[in-house]
């Protein structure tokens, strides 16, 4: 077994949002260096970058390649319930296959996810379209950097390499890799069973894993809208929208707050079609029709 469960949870989990945060993202186990290094080498040497999927959720730069899915084709990245089979890519990644096997989990879907520099997955919820079976998403960071963070529950979390992490994707979250280089995670969706419960005995965060984001002041809100407004006035509407979308990674906004900012920008420009478009996007991305 390449994982080690923590004997005790010693990390500071005392922030105001810590309980909610721990329910959404946590370290479950530490990983031995050697298998992680071998999986890293296999991921970096993979013969394909995969495909860009879920385009409406991202700024671009989010590539996924399937390792366990229902067709065996690594470029089939449609997520779905059922019992998956190894793809042809996993057959060329023996260390990764051994590691997955050692976990003894009931996998639903496993993939390699590459997030390029300057890439953002906007605030969203996952699993909305799937049936309501207990399932969890595990992350094994293979290549990462400090600017690659997950934002959820008003906090920014850097998933460091060397641990196995659990993310609850049915809660609103977003991911970014601001400066690069590329971030590569092994991402496994698993069904909740006894093996998972054993692995998830002591979810925890360590000091420095999470940073609470500040609330946005009225002056900061006005300044950000002014900056976006100037970009839009110059004709750079996409850049204006991206400026506001990024507020999600800087401030603790109410759910969907970045989308509301964009709708407000367009309302000020009397661009009614754009207001409607972003209200619809908010409902779709956050699975709240």
Question: What is the rounded distance in angstroms from the CA atom of residue 13 to the CA atom of residue 24?
Answer: 13
Closer CB to another protein, residue 45 or residue 235? 235
In the complex with another protein, the residue whose CB is nearer, 134 or 235, is: 235
CB of 180 to another protein, least distance (A): 5
CB of 178 to another protein, least distance (A): 6
Cis link prior to 181 (omega < 30° from 0)? yes
Q: How far is CA 156 from CA 4, 21, 25, 149, 192, in A?
A: 25, 10, 10, 6, 26
- Yes or no: say if 65 and 48 are a contact pair by the CB < 8 Å rule: yes
> Which residues fall within 8 angstroms of residue 135, CB to CB, at 6 or more apart?
108, 127, 189, 190, 191, 192
To the nearest whole angstrom, how small is the minimum distance from the Cβ of residue 10 to another protein?
Answer: 25
- CA distance linking residue 37 with residue 197, whole number of Å: 26
CB of 115 to another protein, least distance (A): 12
Q: Which of residues 113-152 bind another protein (CB under 8 A)?
A: 117-118, 145-147
The nearest distance, CB 14 to another protein, in angstroms, is 23
Sequence-ordered list of residues with C-beta below 8 angstroms from that of 180, at least 6 positions apart, any chain: 116, 117, 118, 145, 147
Chosen residue from 231, 247, 253, 261 binding another protein by CB under 8 A: 231
> Which of 4, 211, 230, 276: binder of another protein (CB under 8 A)?
230
**Residue 262 C-beta: closest distance to another protein, Å:** 13
Q: Which long-range contacts (CB under 8 A, 24 or more apart) does 11-17 make?
A: 11/204, 11/205, 11/206, 11/207, 11/209, 12/205, 12/206, 12/207, 13/204, 13/205, 15/155, 15/210, 15/212, 16/212, 17/153, 17/154, 17/155, 17/212
Among the listed ranges 40-48, 211-219, 233-241, 271-279, the one in contact with another protein (CB under 8 A) is: 233-241
Site residues for another protein, 174-203, by CB under 8 A, read: 178-182
Q: How far apart are CA 15 and CA 197, in angstroms?
A: 26
CB atoms near residue 146 (< 10 Å): 9
Choosing from 75, 227, 269, 279, the residue that interacts with another protein (CB under 8 A) is: 227
For another protein, the closer CB: 118 or 204: 118
CB of 24 to another protein, least distance (A): 23
- For CA atoms 249, 250, 255, 256, give the dihedral sign: negative
Binding residues for another protein restricted to 237-256, rule: CB under 8 A: 238-239, 242-243, 246
Backbone φ, ψ for residue 178 (5° rounding) = -75, -50
Residue 82 touching another protein (CB under 8 A): no
d(CA 33, CA 77): 29
Closer by beta carbon to another protein, 126 or else 274: 274
> Site for another protein (CB under 8 A): which residue of 101, 235, 270, 273?
235
Stretch that binds another protein, among 50-58, 75-83, 164-172, 173-181 (CB under 8 A): 173-181
Point out which residues bind another protein (CB under 8 A): 117-118, 145-147, 178-182, 227, 230-231, 233-236, 238-239, 242-243, 246
């Amino acid at each position: 077994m390449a994982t080690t469960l923590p004997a005790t949870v010693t990390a500071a989990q005392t922030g105001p949002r810590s309980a909610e945060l721990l329910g959404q993202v946590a370290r479950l186990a530490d990983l031995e260096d050697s298998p992680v290094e071998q999986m890293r080498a296999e991921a970096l040497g993979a013969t394909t970058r995969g495909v860009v999927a879920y385009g409406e959720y991202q700024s671009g730069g989010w590539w996924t390649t399937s390792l366990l899915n229902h067709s065996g084709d690594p470029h089939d990245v449609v997520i779905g319930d059922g019992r998956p089979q190894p793809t042809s890519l996993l057959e060329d990644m023996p260390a990764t296959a051994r590691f997955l096997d050692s976990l003894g989990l009931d996998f639903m879907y496993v993939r390699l996810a590459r997030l390029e520099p300057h890439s953002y997955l906007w605030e969203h919820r996952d699993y909305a379209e799937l049936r309501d079976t207990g399932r969890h998403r595990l992350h094994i960071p293979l290549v990462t950097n400090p600017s690659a963070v997950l934002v959820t529950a008003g906090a920014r979390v850097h998933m460091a390499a060397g641990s196995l992490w659990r993310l609850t994707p049915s809660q609103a979250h977003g991911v970014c890799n601001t400066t690069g280089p590329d971030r590569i995670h092994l991402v496994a969706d698993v069904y909740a069973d006894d093996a998972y419960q054993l692995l998830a005995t002591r979810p925890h965060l360590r000091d420095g894993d999470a940073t609470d984001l500040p609330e946005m002041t009225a002056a900061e809100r006005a300044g950000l809208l002014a900056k976006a407004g100037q970009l839009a006035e110059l004709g750079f509407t996409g850049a204006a929208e991206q400026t506001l979308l990024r507020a999600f990674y800087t401030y603790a906004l109410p759910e969907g707050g970045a989308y509301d900012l964009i709708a407000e920008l367009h309302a000020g420009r009397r661009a009614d079609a754009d207001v409607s478009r972003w209200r619809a996007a908010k409902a779709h991305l956050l699975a709240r029709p």
